[in-house]
Amino acid sequence: GQQVMQIPQYQHVQEGEDFTTYCNSSTTLSNIQWYKQRPGGHPVFLIQLVKSGEVKKQKRLTFQFGEAKKNSSLHITATQTTDVGTYFCIHGSGNTGKLIFGQGTTLQVKP
Amino acid sequence: DSGVTQTPKHLITATGQRVTLRCSPRSGDLSVYWYQQSLDQGLQFLIQYYNGEERAKGNILERFSAQQFPDLHSELNLSSLELGDSALYFCASSPTGLAAYEQYFGPGTRLTVT
């Protein structure tokens, strides 16, 4: 069945360094959503991408959807300790209604 | 605060028992999703209800069942509990039945099976 692979699983960075997590699929995705979950918290919606080649920015966060709509990335510029948490992508299949999750990338930021 | 409420916050029970988790969606949201999050398996989609009817099913065990009531709150029933069922259970709500729509997550119920 359809799968979304997310890498890396873990990332430790020094505060101020950049961070990127990637979601990849072997099939075309109609959409991709990104969520953040802080330690001990619940997932919080960040953004949704639906168009080929789409790029959206939220302050230091940049979200991209690939031209072929088979991959997506989340890039954080100059990480801060408040960026700590797990970032994961979700694809919602309009046909089946099923939700397909990336495994998540847990970000640790050293002050 | 997402506007989604879940009760109870914590639940400790013994193997073989049955528990019910409750979720109230955001005002106006028609869809409720249930998820299980364990340390070794990440976030797993269990089931979705839309306006009282089952809409999509994920990796939900036969020992688990859910329903959505006319007032749109939802309950997740877990029976014949096993140690491996210990996890954080989230519900999320969404205005539509479309899978490709942002979801608002509740604070979760932490279930410990001893």
| A66-93 pLDDT per residue, tens | 999 999 999 999 999 999 999 999 988 7
Q: Comparing B25-29, B35-39, B71-75, B89-93, which segment has the lowest mean pLDDT?
A: B35-39
Flag whether pLDDT at B100 surpasses 80: no
pLDDT digits (tens, 9 = 90+) for B36-56: 998 767 788 899 999 999 998
Within 19-38 of A, beta carbons closer than 8 Å to B belong to 30-31, 33
Residues on chain A touching B99 (C-beta within 8 angstroms): 92-94, 96-99
Helix (H) and strand (E) counts in chain B = 0, 11
Residues of chain A with pLDDT under 70: 1-2, 94-97
Interface size A-B, in CB pairs within 8 Å, comes to 61
Selected residue of A37, A99, A100, A105 to mutate for chain B interface (largest B Cβ count, 10 A)? A99
Which pLDDT belongs to residue A96?
65
d(CA B10, CA A22): 34
Do the Cβ atoms of A30 and A50 come closer than 8 Å?
A: yes
Six-digit token pair at B45? 């989609």
What is the pLDDT confidence band of residue B102, given thresholds at 50, 70 and 90?
A: confident
Q: Per the omega criterion (within 30 degrees of 0), is the bond before A111 cis?
A: no
Residue among A4, A14, A3, A2 at smallest CA distance from A110: A14
Do the Cβ atoms of A43 and B105 come closer than 8 Å?
A: yes
What is the pLDDT confidence band of residue B91, given thresholds at 50, 70 and 90?
A: very high
Which pLDDT belongs to residue B98?
73
Q: Given an 8 Å threshold on Cβ–Cβ distance, is B100 in contact with A96?
A: no
At residue A6's C-alpha, the angle toward residues A2 and A7, to 5°, is 150
Residue A3 contacts B where some CB pair is shorter than 8 Å: no
For residue B11, is it left (φ>0), alpha (ψ between -120 and 50) or beta? Answer: beta
Q: What is the mean pLDDT of chain B?
A: 93
Residues of B in CB contact (< 8 Å) with A are 2, 33, 42-45, 48, 55-58, 90, 92, 97-108
Q: Given an 8 Å threshold on Cβ–Cβ distance, is A31 in contact with B104?
A: no
What is the pLDDT confidence band of residue B1, given thresholds at 50, 70 and 90?
A: confident
d(CA A110, CA B102): 31
**SS3 at position A48:** strand
Residue among A18, A104, A99, A108 at smallest CA distance from A60: A18
Residue of B nearest to A42 (CA): B107
User: Residue with structure tokens 């409750």?
Assistant: B22
Residue among A6, A3, A2 at smallest CA distance from A86: A6
pLDDT digits (tens, 9 = 90+) for B53-86: 999 888 899 999 999 999 999 999 999 999 999 9
d(CA B84, CA B97): 30
Compare CB distances from B107 to A33, A42, A98 and report the shortest one's residue. Answer: A42
| CA-based nearest distance A41→chain B, Å | 7
Which pLDDT belongs to residue A1?
66
